[in-house]
């Protein structure tokens, strides 16, 4: 059985490692909620929309025919500064191509122009203040992998003696991220002192170093708890030791939880390949369109029902049998553009419904998102349709489908396979937005509940949860600050009465 003198000895032995670790991670941990509180906020929450025009569908056919576009990954009409334009994505690492609906000609360099307009739209800063434009197709220090979306344009404004950088994902007219000087500084502190990403070049070395420090915190928490239990309650004349013990009652459990969940997160992120991220679907074959200019237009009966309906986009999609359709994404009716930081994390569904129109006949189709998603999910997961257990619409962000995906609504499909896979499908463009397995969800749940305290959302809300975390981290800093002079003066013998 362990003696209290032995526990005190080893608690003191690792004290300097504990002090260093808590100072690094507590200080940097405070910067994370501060990024949310102090970072810039978008002026608008919804992407720009457009109204349906039946002539646009004929323009799509003429564009494909005139420009001999044989196949595409994504093809759709979107709203832009020039009105509706035809956007095509041929792969996910290059700028997208655009075509004018009147002349049917390509618009050279329009992807960058479109990104500039969207950046101004979301920030309410005039394009004349743009200082720099950068095309990013790989994650980097300023735009890390947690942002999910690539490629993006980094549009930097120099406005009111401050730099604001908007990261624009043109495929969905989305604002992927928004930075200013304050947020960039806080992000650098967090990445340097909390995730230690500067050690990525060491590979296994980063895991060993951080793992050792996490285990030190675990050890300090456990030995501190044992000391609290084993040492008799008494009046301690030394104020420093008195307050250190008092803080120990409060912080041992949070430290234990943060350390355990952090260690789990470290090991899984390094040793378990996560099957996450966006994947484009198969290419849409347009060979028939390039040979036949005169394809059916949308008929009058269908058109009469769609007059003055606001749309997010008109996309070209293909079913499992190779039939091609126009998918009309109907925008939500109520579009309150009041900035709200919580909306960014909770998510707002930008589509209220969808309509499918057969591209060859122009007739309204009974095809729907659910049928499309079932077929797409079976392909992406490489399973038969009968392996699909459950399917539902996701209209809010949550632990399984993170706000960094910047895309709502999507469909969640649970797969009955060995990994108990869940895939998230966007029927607008038939792409796999994200996916996870049971092993991923266990770690995500641990990190969400134990590390980020997300279980407190329903009880006290996001702001109070963040405040509670900051207060706890400050108590940790006070505790180790008090411990420093105690360590310096401690006796060297193992039986020192702490």
Show the 3-state SS of 438-487. Answer: HHHHHHHHHHHHHHCCHHHHHHHHHHHHHHHHHHHHHHHHHHHHHHHHHH
pLDDT in tens, 208-254: 999 999 999 888 888 877 777 776 665 666 666 777 778 888 888 89
d(CA 330, CA 323): 22
Is the distance from CB of 10 to CB of 315 less than 8 angstroms? no
pLDDT in tens, 65-105: 999 999 999 999 999 998 899 999 998 889 999 999 999 99
Q: Which pLDDT value is given to residue 51?
A: 74
Is the distance from CB of 79 to CB of 50 less than 8 angstroms? yes
Q: Which residue has the tokens 């193992």?
A: 494
Residue 186 has a CB neighbour count (10 Å cut-off) of 22
Is the distance from CB of 159 to CB of 86 less than 8 angstroms? no
Task: Please state, for a pLDDT cut of 70, what percent of the chain lies above it.
Answer: 89
d(CA 408, CA 406): 7
d(CA 9, CA 400): 43
Q: Which pLDDT value is given to residue 15?
A: 83
Average pLDDT, the chain: 86
CA atoms within 13 A on the CB side of 425: 27
Number of residues that make up the chain: 498
Q: Which pLDDT value is given to residue 233?
A: 62
d(CA 90, CA 280): 10
Is the pTM above the cut of 0.75?
A: yes
d(CA 451, CA 261): 6
Q: Which residue has the tokens 């700028």?
A: 95
d(CA 262, CA 214): 7
Q: Phi and psi dihedrals of 165, rounded to 5?
A: -115, 120
Q: Which pLDDT value is given to residue 498?
A: 44
What's the 3-state SS for 72-138?
Answer: ECEEEEEEECCEEEEEEECCCCCCCEEECCCCCCECCCHHHHHHHHHHHHHHCCCHHHEEEEEEECC
Instruction: Provide the angle, in degrees to the nearest 10, between the axes of the packed helices 15-38 and 457-489.
Output: 150
pLDDT in tens, 61-75: 889 999 999 999 999
Give the single-character DSSP code of 491.
Answer: -
Q: Which residues of 133-146 are buried (b: 16+ CB within 10 A; e: fewer)?
A: eeebeeeeebbeee
What's the 3-state SS for 297-345?
Answer: CCCHHHHHHHCCCEEEEEEEEECCCCCEEEEEEEECCCCCCCCCHHHHH
Q: Which pLDDT value is given to residue 125?
A: 95
Q: Which pLDDT value is given to residue 295?
A: 57
Is the distance from CB of 43 to CB of 124 less than 8 angstroms? yes
Which residues fall within 8 angstroms of residue 268, CB to CB, at 6 or more apart?
A: 439, 443
Q: Which pLDDT value is given to residue 290?
A: 80
CA atoms within 13 A on the CB side of 142: 20
* Ordered strands of the 174-180 beta sheet: 130-136, 152-159, 162-169, 174-180
pLDDT in tens, 285-301: 988 888 765 555 555 55
Give the single-character DSSP code of 240.
Answer: H
Q: Which pLDDT value is given to residue 462?
A: 87
d(CA 439, CA 448): 14
Domain boundaries, the chain: 4-38+196-274+453-489, 42-179+280-366
Judged on CB neighbours under 10 Å (0-12, 13-18, 19+), 184 is middle
Closest listed residue to residue 51, CA positions, set 224, 272, 345, 306: 306
Q: Which pLDDT value is given to residue 110?
A: 97
Is the distance from CB of 432 to CB of 421 less than 8 angstroms? no
pLDDT in tens, the chain (498 residues): 567 777 777 777 788 888 899 999 999 999 999 998 888 988 888 888 877 677 777 888 889 999 999 999 999 999 999 889 999 999 888 999 999 999 999 999 999 999 999 999 999 999 999 999 999 999 988 898 888 899 999 999 998 888 999 999 999 999 999 999 999 999 999 999 999 988 988 889 999 999 999 999 888 888 877 777 776 665 666 666 777 778 888 888 899 999 999 999 999 998 988 776 788 888 999 888 887 655 555 555 565 566 667 788 889 999 988 899 999 988 887 655 555 666 667 777 888 889 998 888 888 889 999 999 999 999 999 999 999 999 999 988 887 888 888 888 999 999 999 999 999 999 998 999 999 999 999 999 999 999 999 989 888 988 899 999 999 999 999 988 888 887 777 655 554 444
Which residues fall within 8 angstroms of residue 55, CB to CB, at 6 or more apart?
A: none
Q: Which pLDDT value is given to residue 496?
A: 47
Q: Phi and psi dihedrals of 316, rounded to 5?
A: -100, 120
């Amino acid at each position: 059985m362990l003696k209290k003198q032995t526990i005190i000895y080893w608690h003191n032995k690792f004290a300097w490692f504990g002090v260093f670790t808590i100072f690094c991670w507590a200080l940097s941990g405070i910067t994370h909620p501060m990024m949310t509180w102090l970072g810039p906020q978008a002026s608008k929450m919804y992407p720009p929309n457009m109204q349906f025009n039946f002539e646009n569908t004929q323009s799509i056919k003429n564009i494909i025919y005139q420009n001999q576009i044989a196949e595409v990954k994504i093809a759709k009409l979107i709203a832009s500064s020039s009105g509706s334009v035809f956007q095509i994505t041929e792969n996910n690492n290059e700028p997208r191509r655009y075509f004018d609906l009147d002349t049917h000609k390509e618009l050279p360099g329009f992807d960058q122009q479109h990104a500039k307009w969207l950046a101004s739209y979301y920030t309410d800063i005039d394009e004349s203040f743009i200082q720099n434009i950068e095309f990013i197709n790989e994650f980097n220090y300023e735009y890390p992998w947690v942002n999910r979306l690539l490629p993006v344009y980094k549009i930097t404004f120099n406005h009111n003696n401050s730099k604001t950088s908007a990261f624009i994902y043109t495929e969905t007219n989305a604002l992927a991220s928004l930075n200013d000087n304050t947020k960039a500084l806080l992000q650098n502190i967090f990445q340097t002192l909390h995730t230690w990403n500067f050690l990525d070049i060491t590979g296994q070395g980063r895991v060993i170093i951080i793992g050792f420090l996490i285990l030190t915190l675990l050890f300090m928490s456990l030995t501190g708890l044992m000391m609290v239990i084993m040492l008799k309650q008494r009046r301690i004349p030394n104020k420093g030791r008195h307050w250190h013990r008092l803080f120990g009652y409060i912080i041992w459990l949070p430290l234990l939880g943060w350390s355990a969940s952090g260690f789990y997160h470290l090991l899984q992120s390094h040793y378990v390949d996560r099957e996450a991220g966006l994947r484009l679907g198969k290419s849409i074959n347009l060979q028939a369109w390039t040979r036949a200019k005169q394809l059916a237009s949308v008929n009058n009966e269908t058109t009469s029902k769609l007059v003055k309906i606001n749309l997010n986009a008109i996309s070209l999609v293909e079913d499992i049998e190779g039939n091609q359709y126009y998918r009309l994404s109907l925008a939500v009716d109520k579009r309150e553009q009041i900035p709200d930081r919580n909306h960014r994390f909770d998510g707002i569904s930008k589509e209220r419904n969808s309509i499918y129109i057969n591209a060859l006949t122009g007739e309204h189709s009974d095809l729907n998102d659910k049928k499309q998603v079932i077929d797409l999910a079976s392909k992406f997961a490489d399973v038969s349709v009968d392996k699909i257990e459950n399917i539902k619409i996701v209209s809010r962000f949550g632990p399984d489908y993170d706000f960094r995906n910047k895309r709502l609504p999507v469909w969640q499909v649970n797969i009955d396979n060995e990994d108990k896979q869940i895939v998230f499908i966007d029927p607008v463009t038939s792409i796999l937005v994200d996916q996870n397995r049971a092993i991923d969800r266990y770690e995500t749940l641990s990190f969400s509940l134990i590390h980020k305290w997300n279980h407190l959302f329903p009880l006290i809300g996001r702001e109070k949860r963040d405040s509670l975390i900051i207060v706890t981290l400050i108590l940790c800093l006070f505790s180790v600050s008090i411990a420093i002079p105690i360590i310096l003066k401690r006796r060297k013998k193992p039986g020192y009465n702490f």
